[in-house]
Amino acid sequence: MKGIHGIIYDCDGVLFDSRRANLAFYSQVLEHFGEPPLSDEHSASADLCHTHASIEVFRILLGEARVAEAQVYAETIDTGKLLALMTPEKGLPQVLELLAKKLLLALATNRGHSVRSILDHFQMRHFFKTVVTSQDVQRPKPSPDMLLLAVEGLGLRPEQVLFVGDSELDRQAARHAGVRFVAYKGLVAGDLVIREHQDLVSLLRLSW
């Protein structure tokens, strides 16, 4: 694939299977406010926790009046204990190692500051030239702000970059940013679709 010099990745569901960790985190917040925990991994509320920025999750699940208090409490949760519930996607470290030698890599996620400690824990942070979180922009995905900031951090133009995501929020952000969207596992429509990370190596015609 010609003209591609950088790749931006989403985090949850793309780099890591983090669904159980996310549900555990938000369930702890909900229980703190006397609400029942999230028990159905495939419910609409679970999907919300997996894709949206935390402030939006709190707004929908707890109501606007409790958002600020929820954010304060969330900061007290030891997210390091949730790392055991996360696993890297199949073949990810090997693919990132190859891609980082040939292209510029970035991460753009609706997750907050915890993403950097996650990358450090799994020894992947060095692969990414820039990491953009929901705390770095005023408007998280589906706004294009996060992707545009990542593109700027790579020193590239939107048309020189691919964005690998797995949600409708990711797709919309890519479209508004003018970045080609790669749908991971084909969960949503994309300019390109990959079933596993190694497929991207083939699409880009890179060699191991």
HEC states along the chain? CCCCCEEEECCECCCEECHHHHHHHHHHHHHHCCCCCCCCCCCHHHHHHHHCCHHHHHHHHHCHHHHHHHHHHHCCCCHHHHHHHCEECCCHHHHHHHHHHHCEEEEECCCCCHHHHHHHHCCCHHHCCEEECHHHCCCCCCCCHHHHHHHHHHCCCHHHEEEEECCHHHHHHHHHHCCEEEEECCCCCCCEEECCCHHHHHHCCCCC
Q: Look up residue 61 and give its two tokens.
A: 């699940």
- Say if CB 8 and CB 131 are below 8 A apart: no
- 39-58: average pLDDT: 83
For the cut 50, the answer to whether the pLDDT of residue 9 exceeds it is: yes
- 120-138: average pLDDT: 95
pLDDT range class, residue 168, cuts 50, 70, 90: very high
Nearest to 126, CA basis, from 89, 97, 95: 97
Length of the chain measured in residues: 208
Lowest mean pLDDT of 46-55, 106-115, 137-146, name the range.
46-55
Better pLDDT: 206 or 43? 43
Q: In the predicted model, what is the mean pLDDT of the chain?
A: 92
Lowest mean pLDDT of 39-43, 119-123, 124-128, 130-134, name the range.
39-43
Query: What angle, 0 to 180 degrees and rounded to 10, lies between the N-to-C axes of helices 54-62 and 19-32?
Result: 50
For the cut 50, the answer to whether the pLDDT of residue 208 exceeds it is: no
d(CA 163, CA 151): 10
* Phi-psi category of residue 57: left, alpha or beta, with phi > 0 → left and psi -120 to 50 → alpha: alpha
Q: Look up residue 150 and give its two tokens.
A: 């990542």
